[in-house]
Chains A and B, each alone.
Chain A
Amino acid sequence: MKPLTRRDFAVTAASALMTKVVAQPAPVTAEQVVERIKKNVGVPWRDQTVDVFKAGDPETPLTGIATTFMSTLSMLQRAAENRKNFIITHEPTFYNHLDKTDDLRDDPVYQYKTEFIRKHNLVVWRFHDHWHARKPDGIFKGFTKTLGWEKYETAPGTSVFTIPARPLADVAREVQERLKTRSLRVVGDPALVVSKIGRGGHDLASTIRTLADHDAIIAGDVREWDSPVYVRDAVLAGQKKALIVIAHERWEEFGMENCAEWVRSFVPEVPVEYMPSGEPFWNPLV
């Protein structure tokens, strides 16, 4: 083989360099990540959904992705510090389910938040309906895992449990400790022995439906004028039932930890990290 001349070497090096430049993929955008999510989620994408972009430019090249329960301002501040400019949030950004902002235009907090998003080139996209629609539900898979109760699920992926029978007070304490929550509240007799534990919802209908075939249910963010009063009446009427109320955030946040892992599997270009928005509440008595 003929020895390389200086010129040959320069050409080869340059083409290698060029090859390298060409081979390096263009930075992935938020829009592309969402396309991959839609392709991978495994459930049909709905026409009517809250899973849409909430803020920022979808074509923004990404430096990193953060998944979270809720894109609160403090969460966004941490994301920006950690160079995660795409936020996948389970819950709304602007304080209502549909993220309507008409009434907020002149609000100083809204203005501060949108300005922060703009200044840091953040993109916020909501991932609620379809993550819940997966089988098993992506959110409650995380809840079950954090509770450490997979082994007690009546069927895998249901987040409905038959646990070893013991007093409600013990179960409540375990839930409080496992979920590291500071705002757990319980309705029912602390001495009641419970085994079948269901997962409720925010509303009275869920409470009634789930309690019908469970001793106790765990529910996040219930409306206090119906579910707790109903369960209390059920107990007063002689039924052996209980309700454990936890913060919405402690109920659903862990499902976004799973989500980060899942997104990472098809977005290798940028770091993907779960960033908890954190429980908003604390109880001075606990």
Chain B
Amino acid sequence: MITVEQVIERMRGALGAPWNEKDRIAAGSGDTPVSGIVTTYAPTLEVLRKAVAAGRNLIVSREAPYWAHELYGRAYDAPGAELAAKTPTYAIKQQYIEEHKLVVLQFSLGWDARKTNGQVRGLANALGWGRYSQSPAKHDAERYGPGDVYFKLPSTTARKLGLDIAARLKVRGIRVIGAPETPVSKAALAPGLMLVPDVRQILKEPGVDAIIGGEPVEWEAGPYFDDVIASGQRKTLILLGQQASAEPGSGEVAAWLKPLAPEVPVEWVPAGEPFWIVRDKKGAEG
């Protein structure tokens, strides 16, 4: 039987980018024999329970099992880890992980440094946008290199595109910046945390009129985009939320891991959107 450490060794070998030491075992022990692998956006208790029910004990996730992490730099990571460790939820989760001998491998930085951007490819495929890709590579396996994030879409509007995306991804907490009737014909995908330099870089591309992103900081990239529009540019920002934008990438992680660990089953278990919204009609919480 292979161990977690052996799986990580194979991942290092196949990554095609330097291993980032922040990608690490965040819970459990590296010498644990692996019975199966689950990939996910966040190792919520629900994902852990599903993994246990399916007899899989290695969880490869983007987010940390105990929520606080410092992957995005100090500015975005207010202290929370110490407080988190004193909560009953922490104790329950830790006990569950120990009891079922689970291992959580937090894996995102190395994944994002690969030549093919798995997060963009996952999101593009989830949207059904593969055929619209402006990526110069012909074959899907070589697509979505650095900067290959643009998609030429059939002409639509911000509102229609927002509704279409919400339906395809089954995301409820979608948020849009820009006027609903703004035309859209070329969009960029930018899953995850969106910072001002990301927006600036994308908007340098000629003709791009929409960005599909994850999560902005509302005193940074959010108002920057607001000002892009007020300065006379007709653009749209569609925010899916961190989870909804990043989750399809975890499906790509599973596809990548499968041939690396043929001894065990590998399965993507989406963490699912944490949010629900209050819809127009009285009594409709969806």
Binding site for B on A (CB under 8 A): 70, 72-74, 77, 91-92, 95-97, 103, 107-109, 112-113, 169, 172-173, 176, 183-187, 190, 201-209, 212, 220-221, 223-234, 236-239, 245, 247-249, 280-286
Could you tell me which residues of chain B, from 62 to 113, have a CB within 8 Å of some CB in chain A? 63, 67-69, 72, 76-80, 83-84, 87-89, 92-93
B133 adjacent to chain A (CB < 8 Å)? no
Which chain B residues border A73 with CB–CB below 8 Å?
A: 226-227, 230-231
A226 touches B68 (CB 8 A): yes
A113 touches B42 (CB 8 A): no
- Most chain B CB within 10 A, of A96, A212, A223, is at A223
Which chain B residues border A239 with CB–CB below 8 Å?
A: 88-89
* Minimum CB distance partner of A249 in chain B: B218
A237 touches B67 (CB 8 A): no
Stretch at the interface among B19-27, B115-123, B145-153, B235-243: B235-243
B196 touches A113 (CB 8 A): no
B33 adjacent to chain A (CB < 8 Å)? no
Known contacts A72-B223, A73-B226, A77-B230: A224-B241 contact under CB 8 Å: yes
Q: How large is the interface on B (under 10, 10 to 19, 20 to 34, 35 or more residues)?
A: 35 or more
Which chain B residues border A169 with CB–CB below 8 Å?
A: 278, 283, 285
A285 touches B80 (CB 8 A): no
* 7 A-B residue pairs with CB within 8 Å: A109-B231, A176-B278, A185-B173, A204-B83, A206-B78, A236-B44, A247-B218
Known contacts A233-B89, A234-B89, A284-B176: A95-B221 contact under CB 8 Å: yes
Known contacts A230-B67, A284-B162: A236-B45 contact under CB 8 Å: yes
The one of A183, A209, A227 in contact with B175, judged by C-beta atoms closer than 8 angstroms, is: A183
Known contacts A185-B276, A286-B278: A229-B175 contact under CB 8 Å: no
The one of B159, B175, B215, B278 in contact with A173, judged by C-beta atoms closer than 8 angstroms, is: B278
B219 touches A225 (CB 8 A): no
A283 touches B224 (CB 8 A): no
Which chain A residues border B83 with CB–CB below 8 Å?
A: 204-205, 208-209
Which chain A residues border B1 with CB–CB below 8 Å?
A: none
B166 adjacent to chain A (CB < 8 Å)? yes
B278 touches A230 (CB 8 A): no
B205 adjacent to chain A (CB < 8 Å)? no
Q: How far is the CA of A226 from the CA of B83 in the complex (A)?
A: 13
Least CB distance, A184 to chain B, in whole angstroms: 6
The 8 A CB mask of B184-224 against A (1 = contact, 0 = none) is: 00000000010011001000000000000011011111111
A113 touches B226 (CB 8 A): no
Known contacts A72-B223, A96-B219, A173-B278: A233-B176 contact under CB 8 Å: no
B53 adjacent to chain A (CB < 8 Å)? no
The one of B63, B176, B200, B227 in contact with A72, judged by C-beta atoms closer than 8 angstroms, is: B227
Which chain B residues border A226 with CB–CB below 8 Å?
A: 67-69, 80
Q: How far is the CA of A238 from the CA of B84 in the complex (A)?
A: 16
Further contacts, 7 of them, CB under 8 A, given A73-B226, A185-B276, A281-B177: A72-B223, A95-B219, A109-B231, A183-B173, A186-B276, A205-B83, A233-B67
A248 touches B196 (CB 8 A): no
B222 touches A280 (CB 8 A): yes
A232 touches B44 (CB 8 A): yes
Least CB distance, A240 to chain B, in whole angstroms: 12
Which chain B residues border A220 with CB–CB below 8 Å?
A: 218
Which chain B residues border A204 with CB–CB below 8 Å?
A: 67-68, 78, 80, 83-84
Known contacts A92-B219, A282-B180: A225-B242 contact under CB 8 Å: yes
* Minimum CB distance partner of B220 in chain A: A95
Q: How far is the CA of A91 from the CA of B224 in the complex (A)?
A: 13
B139 adjacent to chain A (CB < 8 Å)? no
Least CB distance, B211 to chain A, in whole angstroms: 14
A285 touches B277 (CB 8 A): yes
Which chain B residues border A201 with CB–CB below 8 Å?
A: 78
Q: How far is the CA of A176 from the CA of B280 in the complex (A)?
A: 10
A202 touches B78 (CB 8 A): yes
Which chain B residues border A285 with CB–CB below 8 Å?
A: 163, 166, 172, 174, 277, 279, 286
Known contacts A95-B220, A203-B80: A237-B231 contact under CB 8 Å: no
A228 touches B166 (CB 8 A): no
B46 adjacent to chain A (CB < 8 Å)? yes
B154 adjacent to chain A (CB < 8 Å)? no
B76 touches A234 (CB 8 A): no
B228 adjacent to chain A (CB < 8 Å)? yes
Which chain A residues border B259 with CB–CB below 8 Å?
A: none
B227 touches A280 (CB 8 A): no
Q: How far is the CA of A135 from the CA of B278 in the complex (A)?
A: 33
Which chain A residues border B63 with CB–CB below 8 Å?
A: 225, 229
B129 adjacent to chain A (CB < 8 Å)? no
B80 touches A190 (CB 8 A): no
The one of A70, A231, A283 in contact with B277, judged by C-beta atoms closer than 8 angstroms, is: A283
Least CB distance, A5 to chain B, in whole angstroms: 63
